[in-house]
A and B are shown apart, each in its own frame.
Chain A
Amino acid sequence: MNWTDVNPDEQSGALFDEVLKPLAIGKREAGVEPYFVSGPDATVGSYFVPPKVMSMTPADFEFPGAGGAEGLINALVAHWAAEGESVLATMAPRLNRIAGALSQAAAHDDGGVDIFCYTLF
């Protein structure tokens, strides 16, 4: 199958179904800490945490992947690898295929986000 012939949304959906969903269920069953907590905690005095970037160094200004999709994905994979998330890093080829398909469909995309996609705020 030529991956670029497949609708990018279908590819993203397949990535979710075939990789993210089993991974999420597996992590949950193994009792792995979630990436974020879902509710209040009466035992802590504050919910503040230190910012990931506290002040800007020259390196912080460098655009991840120099503004292209492949570079962005490579930067993300490196970020995950540095965090010890090697399983996530294996998604790189599929993310690249989605980006490739989206780039072919770009003429139909106005850059806007579905108004109901609140996680992108």
Chain B
Amino acid sequence: MTQIISRQDLLSWLERLIGERIVIAPAQSNGLVLFQRVSRAEDIVLDFDNTVLSPKESFLPLSEVLFTVAKENGDIKLMPATVAEEMVLFGLHPCDAKGMAVIDQPLLAAPADDLYQQHRARTTLIGLACSQAGPECFCTSMGTAPDDPSNLDILLTRVNDSYIVQATTEKGKALLPSDLIAQSEVTAPPPPSPQAVPTEGIVEVMRGAFESPYWSRLADRCLHCNLCAYVCPTCYCFDIRDYVDEGGIERVRSWESCQSPGFTRLAGGYDPRPTKGARLRQRFYHKLSYFPEHFGHLGCVGCGRCVRYCPVNIDIREIINDIQKLGAQSEC
């Protein structure tokens, strides 16, 4: 027996949730599907490949005030930002949910990133299983799957005009609209099969490929923008700076990327990673070598956004293939 909710009832439930808390869901914006705050359930897009940006900005915003500095009677007080409101993040695919789990590792490690922790604690994740895999998808090679319920509070899987409802956490179970959920014999259709990418053993092979000229050759066409890191569900690098405005002083953290020229440049001008090749290499080593060696799983979830949006087609799947081949050659 499975629990199901009809599409109609799903929209009613979402409308209910919108009345109670902030709901972030995929919605149309200028011909794009982006995660946005929605005020009406009918604005939510239920059938889409994937959003342009991952939902990580709900937990690690593009820009976020860490604290403000208040001056009172010649005294200084630091006022930390807090996350006040309960939120529902609706419609994320399992790859993005896994992305959250990946980012949790460094950000929640002691000492935990307080604001990130608050965002995560106050958000309930309702995911949508994928009914099709895009040509850029490869989540099954990255430790998740189009129907993976882990890392979510609730997973919805579409079956005709209804959705199978799986609540995997207490938080998820508490949110379910018991009046709208029915029991059913319906089973989930087989999930789509994304393309496979040979990630088996990639971490070991990467160790040997560090000095290869492959990286600077690949970097020839890299534009060193931040696009790949910004659309990515698992990239989390950030910058911190103070802002002075009429209202006072704010310390703001914003996304940044290791690809930016000047990412590692010290005051005084010395830059240990001045070349395009070294910067490009850093990104792939972080994802396929350093992160997995430190935390035990790859720093990529196979959502394929970087593949789809990189203006010069730097394709991580191709890189993994190429590095595996390089590794095989050097063994001969």
Q: Do A and B come from one complex?
A: no
Residues of A within 8 A of B (CB): none
